[in-house]
Structure 1
Amino acid sequence: MVPVLQARVAEDAMYGAEANDRELYKWLGKVQNREITLPRFQRGEAWDHSRICSLMNAIIKGLPLGVTLILEVGDKPKFESRALQTAPVEGERITEQLLDGQQRMTAVWRVLNDNYEDGSYFVVVEDFDSEEPQMAAEVIRQSRWRKKDNRRYPLWCDKPKECLARKMIPASLLCPTKSLGSCNYDKWIREALGNKEGYSSADEYYELKESVKSTVDKLRERIANYNLPYLALPSSTSEDVVLDVFVNMNTNGKPLSQYDIIAAQLESKLGMSLTEKIDKMKTEVPGLQRYSNVSELLFNTESLVQGYSPNQAGAWKFDKDKFVDSWADNAQAIESMLGLLITEGVTDERLLPSVSVMWVAAAIFRMNPKDVDHQGLMKSLLRQYLWRAFFTHRYEKSASTYALQDYRGMKEYLGLRFAGENAELKAPIFDDQENPPFEIEELVQAGWPKRKSVVSRSVLALTGHEGARDFATGDDLTQCPFGDRHFHHVFPDDLLSKAGVKNRSIVLNCALIKDATNWDIGKKEPLKYLAERCKWASEDEVRGRLASHLIPIEKIQCGGYDDMEPAARKEAVAKDYDAFVQSRAEKVRAKALELGGFKAPASESAALRI
């Protein structure tokens, strides 16, 4: 338990949680009337159909299930609410919020209302004459799908006679909140039995009808009266205690993180769902939709601004009222930070070497100087900071601790400079001796950039800074959606593989280009596809396109391997490839040193002053 909550748990212990019994028909009635809802911070459905079948089998056999946890609602819900999946979104006054038991309640509701688009649930009854048919019955799921005619297949699922022939009763016929008329109870039985003329005698028909009706009644009654016990927290329970109890009781396979819980705390202060607030921010801040964990970005930025480490511990500690009050400032700072990333060529989360830089840069932008020269100084410092973060191992371990150190150092430096005083930049990331740039050998060994590697992504980010252009069209690839770009082997993978080269899938042999260009180049050796490009564009234009990827054109003007003997071919390919990789590594490192303001040689300390 979080320490700050321990005292509150003791303080609120007098309230306790009252244990109660409640039949399933009452639960479903509350869902139907929207008297019970979910706190919005709860995740969506997570159960697969096998767990749902197990649940329904336990219910019809009268086996016990786990205790459900609810929070009683006073004048208004403590947390933003949402209805259970497919349940009515309007109805009576909300009287309860479901804290634990969402998966069970949602599954029962949807099974009995038959609103899973991809499947329908049935109760298979082997003996309709049994005194206790439920004990031998079994709930199963039948997959459903739609064809072009929009009909739901297999069609027999909606044909009572064919269902009964399979000894199957639709679970939707057993829903206790539906009247017998609304669930077409009698109609289903009539259609399932068919005409009397199809039976050897009227007695046979009526006996079967009575057996089916009796079985349906017994199953329906068993479900309706099934007891699902619950614990109720009184409405007077504090929010923090509710959340702590929820975390401790949560039985989901993937428990909520502390960030989820912090989001729940904030919702009551924001007066709306944090998800909705973030969605609104995504529409207002260009580029933000390309990044997934916006809540973490917001929390970690605020943690830094309030002097805490940018992690879950910091998010627990920061003043939530200040966070709410500074929402607009955070949105503006994040927009400025994303603008900086875009101008530096980092246009997508999948090209970002380190997420930590987003928190630090956004927190620095919260300083919000009005003087244009002060703004210029701040942006120049942040540009160097970005490339130092990308081309050092600074944030690979203990990122939160180091991010706080660097933020404090830069903030102190900028504050003094804005005040007209001389200052020395003490942020550790600007110390070349403590945080040296990647060596040539590290760049050469860096793997394929689809993997989450700081070194590999940093190289790709650098090509974005250089305005990476497509080899064939010359289009600025930083303006293309990430999904339209392909990871291309500059020296073809097939060529290198046949030459016995092992380090062929490395970032220095990679360029992000358009998918159509990648397919067009295919397995062609560098000299051949360069010649093809030069048929349609000047040599200077082609050179410019390659230079935008930091590709040394003189090192890929090689080829003619098809005319060589196998041994000579292998040697030539390996030699040309090694020369290309080494040359590109040198170009990449030189550009990184320039952008990061590193001193040369890297072993010397850099006491940077701006």
Structure 2
Amino acid sequence: MNELSIRTLITQVQQGQIRVPAFQRGFVWDNDRIAFLMDSIYKGYPFGSAIFWQTKEQLKSERKLGPFSLPEPLQDFPISYVLDGQQRLTSIFGTFQTDLNPEGDESWPKIYFDLQGDGDLQESQFVALPDSEVDQNRHFPINTFFDTTAYRRATRSFSDEQAEIIDKVQSTFKEAKIPQQVIETDNRGKVAIVFERVNRLGVELDVLQLLSAWTWSEEFDLQDRFKDLAELIAPFGFGDVGDDSNLLLRCCAAVVAGDASPNTLMSMSGAEVRDRFDEIENGLQGAIDFVRGQLHVEKLANLPYPSVLVPLTVFFSQKNGKSTKLTNDQRKVLTKWLWRSFFSRRFSAGVLRNLKRDIEEIKKLKDKLPSALGEIAVNVNKDFFLEKRFSISAVDSKTFVLLLVNKNPLSFVSGNNVNLKNVLSSYNRTEFHHLMPQSFLKKNSLSSKEINILANFAMISAADNKHLGGVAPSEYKKRMPSTQVDEILNHALCPKHDLFSDDFVNFTNSRAEMLAQAANQLMI
């Protein structure tokens, strides 16, 4: 790993060589954290490295370095964009440079070395102070360390003993090195992947900002178009799609280039995306219409995997606002693929690889060519419903809910059709309750882990659940409409005799078998 001295950092920033791309977040460190960094450098503690992307092409959109506007880069000099370490580099530069002034109402803290500070390993000897709190006999301004004239002037009032201490502190910073890694490439896809991996545990990569800054800032405002698209689909319950820039960008790349990987996103041209954006809009609207119509999905949160919208967008994409005419065979394949993707947990791992394959196969289906889109190996058995626990936000639970929805459930109290639109639009835990109530089962010494398996849940509203009461099923049967009990349980994929026998083990095993049979039937 290479190293960068503080003096070199200051020089390269002042020459416009080190810069901050627009896709980085702004400077957020407070004064105490800046002072704490100085203490770490002084005491030789590890304080992190910096990663630079070196290129000869200046980006169209950049950030300031903290409150400092950067000068234009010198010609024929490579530019080093900060991919990681911006907070540390800004803190070091802002503390020691003396040529640039903060802009507007922004300011930069003055950091001092405290000559009377406790020099132990834990306590910091560096403090950020306003002018009113500075003791001229105790606090030394470290922003003079790299300015010979200012440093000489600042040390005059100190004793020889104090000046010797300050000289040693200055020497430490002059010799300090910042570990750095430099990526020299014009391949923006590589840069995007590096940035994504660096920030995976920190600030999430915003590829939308990155692409807007790199490619489309002057000729096409992609962010505005995405906002317009979000407003367009919001009335159908999918306004949240507008907040998922990663999903939208993958839809773009899939339609334009047939691949949703980060490298493809980086290689797309702004002109091509602009010219084909109506196809992307039509495709996404068609995808949403399909999952709403075929699976009763009322909003993005209902989908076990939002990624399925990417291949579907490709299938329904058309020019000039035209709609895709779907054949019955195509509808069957698409539906089969969705159910198999959900039950196999297809997009829990290898997402990009699976998307690439599905995009290729869905394009064949669209062109009415032989397609293996729905040929995903999966066989659901009763263990799926006996081992998984119900959690409203979990993938398996969302799949289970869609399975229940597919049977058009009825109210356990009125026998009327459940208003699926209302239930799925609000989509919260209060619309799903135990078939064998918790209070009844806990009396029989069953644990929460056993009670909360999928096989013990149905679409029962809070009001219906309260009416039925926390009693044994054989008791709450009396509170159900007597002429519709069989019909209600059939629509709930629930075996009648085993439920009302009050035998939890036999009931859950029978119901799990019934659910598995229904699931596998959907995937044929």
Q: What range is the shorter-chain TM-score in?
A: 0.5 to 0.7
Q: Which residue of 2 aligns with 1:363?
A: 314
Following superposition, the deviation at residue 78 of structure 1 comes to: 0.3
Distance 1:249 1:410 in 2: 28
Q: Which residue of 1 aligns with 2:138?
A: 215
1:81 aligns with 2:65: no
Q: Which residue of 1 aligns with 2:505?
A: 574
Task: Choose 1 or 2 for highest CA Rg.
Answer: 1
1:412 aligns with 2:364: yes
Distance 1:528 1:242, change over 3 A: closer
SS in 2 for 1:480: helix
**8 A Cα contact 1:345 1:461, kept in partner:** yes
Distance 2:145 2:465 in 1: 63
Q: Which residue of 2 aligns with 1:489?
A: 434
Distance 1:411 1:245 in 2: 27
Q: Which residue of 2 aligns with 1:426?
A: 370
1:55 aligns with 2:41: no
Cα displacement string for residues 476-510 of structure 1 (whole angstroms, at most 9, x for unaligned residues): 34443334646533223454455466754322222
Query: For residue 339 of structure 2, what is the amino acid of its counterpart?
Result: W
**8 A Cα contact 1:470 1:545, kept in partner:** yes
Q: Which residue of 2 aligns with 1:325?
A: 275
Query: For residue 426 of structure 1, what is the amino acid of its counterpart?
Result: P
Q: Which residue of 2 aligns with 1:352?
A: 303
**8 A Cα contact 1:291 1:349, kept in partner:** yes
Q: Which residue of 1 aligns with 2:335?
A: 383
Distance 1:246 1:386, change over 3 A: closer
Distance 1:577 1:39, change over 3 A: same
Match of 1:480 among 425, 443, 450: 425
**8 A Cα contact 1:468 1:549, kept in partner:** yes
Distance 1:523 1:496 in 2: 9
**8 A Cα contact 2:407 2:491, kept in partner:** yes
Following superposition, the deviation at residue 392 of structure 1 comes to: 5.5
Q: Which residue of 2 aligns with 1:102?
A: 86
Matched-pair identity in %:
17
Distance 1:517 1:58, change over 3 A: farther
Following superposition, the deviation at residue 365 of structure 1 comes to: 0.9
CA root-mean-square deviation: 5.7
1:38 aligns with 2:20: yes
Query: For residue 481 of structure 1, what is the amino acid of its counterpart?
Result: S
**8 A Cα contact 1:496 1:574, kept in partner:** no
Query: For residue 491 of structure 1, what is the amino acid of its counterpart?
Result: M
Following superposition, the deviation at residue 429 of structure 1 comes to: 4.1
TM-score for the superposition, normalised by structure 1: 0.57
Distance 2:347 2:455 in 1: 22
Q: Which residue of 1 aligns with 2:405?
A: 464
1:282 aligns with 2:230: yes
Distance 1:411 1:393 in 2: 22
What are the within-5 Å matches in structure 2 for residues 299-338 of structure 1? Answer: 299-305=249-255, 308-312=258-262, 315=265, 321-338=271-288
TM-score for the superposition, normalised by structure 2: 0.64
Distance 2:58 2:355 in 1: 38
What are the within-5 Å matches in structure 2 for residues 129-208 of structure 1? Answer: 171-173=127-129, 183=130, 185-186=131-132, 188=133
**8 A Cα contact 2:343 2:399, kept in partner:** yes
Query: For residue 382 of structure 1, what is the amino acid of its counterpart?
Result: L
**8 A Cα contact 2:51 2:82, kept in partner:** yes
SS in 2 for 1:353: coil
SS in 2 for 1:21: helix
Following superposition, the deviation at residue 42 of structure 1 comes to: 2.7
Q: Which moved more, 1:343-352 or 1:364-373?
A: 364-373
Q: How many residues align?
A: 467
Following superposition, the deviation at residue 447 of structure 1 comes to: 0.9
Q: Specify every segment of 5 or more residues in structure 2 that has no aligned partner in the other structure, as ranges.
A: 74-78, 97-101, 103-108, 152-172
Distance 1:370 1:94, change over 3 A: closer
Q: Which residue of 1 aligns with 2:454?
A: 507
Distance 1:555 1:124, change over 3 A: farther
